[in-house]
Structure 1
């Protein structure tokens, strides 16, 4: 059974447009899913200065009690403003799922300290899923680092900026030219349009937490995480 992600209205303070934001679920190392608790009555704030430290928040797994660093809930507005979604004050992420059935050996993540660690973490995860011959991709993506495996091209974005619609579409076009599948790994999550487009194109989206564990944040990523290539 899966944790239910919370959806809240978010109004941009710059252009006053209202959006719906659905909190991503993250997978604790114990196997349970952790969902941030959002404040549906709070006010979103514009991020004017991106800071690595401010882009993360400590969340505790209600199943095993482990506390980890996860990306702070943020989304991009079409007007260009990056919005920080308010979280419920003093509340722990109470929603978790039961541990999934173990189909493989336990995944051993690579702790992320640098951009290179993020690329390594994604490569280790893909190898754990069952991909082979992992290497640096032949084509360099517009942002981040491209890696490839047999039948797959992937992009790893180690910046504190959510991946954009253009980032996702460029990855898809690269995969099309190479007749391969694709996957995206981001440290800072995804703009709303990027997330929507990825669902339409069937692109798995993952968020890398600081433990180096990729967290599926859309349906195609859940499927890939569950079944592998």
Structure 2
């Protein structure tokens, strides 16, 4: 069910009733972002790719896609970004972190064999699993094989859940860096290849 929220423009103080738009999931079910009535409405002053999109999960099939961040245009000319129930914007956090590693020109990858959201760029393939379920050895192996077919020199996996020991071991053998995403903390290395990569980030000691 789509959600509505009363929004007050911070510039002219005019109140609006906003209904989150629904978009069809790949399974055909309409999906809408969950609005946060306790969140803060922000004025959009500039735009960047990573801030334009949010992850929205389909309740029917469990798949997560990237939906446009909800916005409202006030008649006074102010464009407002609506708050959603998401402790941190998963994709944006990863994109910002990859920027510190020197990867800036990223875009959505074609749908792969592993769950979640894929990003690709020059010489890099990234998989982000926002489901909250632990990654499997097969997830890491499929990601590695996909990277080989695309001649990607760097392949990284990000997850909201901790990695089982067997997955960390297999990723270590394949030299796949594993990162855990946490609210307010940014990506944390979960194996030796990730720790070595993190040490090259801008500002790393």
Name the TM tier (shorter chain): 0.5 to 0.7
Q: Which has the larger radius of gyration?
A: 2
* Residues in 2 aligned to 1:142 and 1:200: alpha-carbon distance in whole angstroms: 19
Note the alpha carbon deviations across 1:193-218, whole angstroms, 9 max, x for none: 21110000000000011115000111
Contact 1:141–1:155 (Cα < 8 Å) also in 2:
no
Out of 67, 74, 86, the residue aligned to residue 114 of structure 1 is 86
Matches within 5 A, 1:77-226: 114=86, 117-180=89-152, 181-211=154-184, 213-226=186-199
Mark the CA change 1:122 to 1:226 in structure 2 (over 3 Å): closer, same or farther.
Answer: same
- Comparing both chains, which one has the higher relative contact order based on Cα–Cα distances under 8 Å and sequence gaps of 6 or more? 1
Contact 2:117–2:128 (Cα < 8 Å) also in 1:
yes
Match of 2:61 in 1: none
Mark the CA change 1:119 to 1:220 in structure 2 (over 3 Å): closer, same or farther.
Answer: same
Mark the CA change 1:123 to 1:195 in structure 2 (over 3 Å): closer, same or farther.
Answer: same
Contact 2:87–2:183 (Cα < 8 Å) also in 1:
no
Contact 1:165–1:197 (Cα < 8 Å) also in 2:
yes
Mark the CA change 1:147 to 1:133 in structure 2 (over 3 Å): closer, same or farther.
Answer: same
CA RMSD of aligned residues (A): 2.2
- Structure 1 residue 141, shift from structure 2 partner: 3.8
* Residues in 1 aligned to 2:89 and 2:174: alpha-carbon distance in whole angstroms: 28
- Structure 1 residue 139, shift from structure 2 partner: 3.8
Give the TM-score of the pair, scaled to structure 2. 0.53
Structure 2 residue ranges without an equivalent (≥5): 1-83
Equivalent pairs, count: 118
Give the TM-score of the pair, scaled to structure 1. 0.48
* Residues in 2 aligned to 1:113 and 1:213: alpha-carbon distance in whole angstroms: 18
